[in-house]
Amino acid sequence: MIVLGIDTSGYVNAVGISDGAKVLADESFPARTDSLEQIVDNIDTTLKKAGLSLKEVEGIGVGLGPGSWTGIKVGVTVGKMLAFSANKPVAGIPTLEVLAYVARGKSPLVCSVISAGIRDTINAGFYRSGVKEGDFFTGDTKDLAALIKEPTLLVGNNIESYREIIVKQKLSLENNINIMEALPSGGAVACLAAARLNQGKSDEPLSLTPLYLKESTAKVFVNKYKVK
């Protein structure tokens, strides 16, 4: 199945195309604006690189975030429009899962990390051999240290800074945490979506929404004003 993958949750517009698990094109474009026109142009460029037309695409994969709220909405909207207007199946993929896929084969346990945009607050997810473990984490970076109990690969953007905070909080992790700098990949979105769509696990285009993770208001208040 030929699938178009889109992720606009971060600093780049990631667009990729796969035929099953084989990536045919994987492009990243600066997210200078959050315009629908820009994303459409990026998709057209990627299709040309793969030597394909939109008519040949059999399914759509969309990164759901978390990440830039406005950016995510643009990508999800474009994916929904394409799926609905062309009557193609669509699958929403959490961006934390996309990052874990980018790091596949590098470590049995991967922790994907995405900035929540507020100081050291992050969104994170643990994946063992590509399968999510436990709930998503949203909170202060240093609080993630308590959840890491074995050798783990941290993957994400500006990931060294997160490692430093975690190790400072829990020195015993210094030799148990490796890092991999990575951004979401459109090719990874396409591959993950193809796997879901091939199993008949599509989403309803009109009801597909971005993934929004948030700390409780009470916890944010306590963390912000507690005495240090």
What CATH architecture applies to the domain 104-181? 2-Layer Sandwich (3.30)
Residue partners of 180: CB distance under 8 A and separation at least 6:
102, 103, 106, 153, 154, 155, 159
Per-residue pLDDT of the chain (228 residues; tens, 9 = 90+): 999 999 999 888 999 999 999 999 999 998 865 577 889 999 999 999 999 999 999 999 999 999 887 888 899 999 999 999 899 999 999 999 999 999 999 999 999 999 988 878 999 999 999 999 999 999 999 999 999 999 999 999 999 999 999 999 999 999 999 999 999 999 999 999 999 999 999 999 988 999 887 644 334 434 543 444
β 12-19/2-7 pair status? antiparallel
The full DSSP string for 59-123 is: EEEEE--SS-HHHHHHHHHHHHHHHHHHT--EEEE-HHHHHHHHTTTS-SEEEEEEE-SSTTEEE
**Integer CA distances (angstroms), 169 to 28, 110, 160, 226, in order:** 34, 19, 14, 17
Return d(Cα 138, Cα 121) in angstroms, integer. 7
Domains 2-94+184-207 and 104-181 share a fold: yes
Question: 35: helix, coil or strand?
Answer: coil
Q: Which CATH class is domain 2-94+184-207?
A: alpha beta
pLDDT of residue 100: 97
CA–chain centroid gap for 208, Å, is 16
Domain boundaries, the chain: 2-94+184-207, 104-181
Return d(Cα 192, Cα 59) in angstroms, integer. 11
pTM of this structure:
0.90
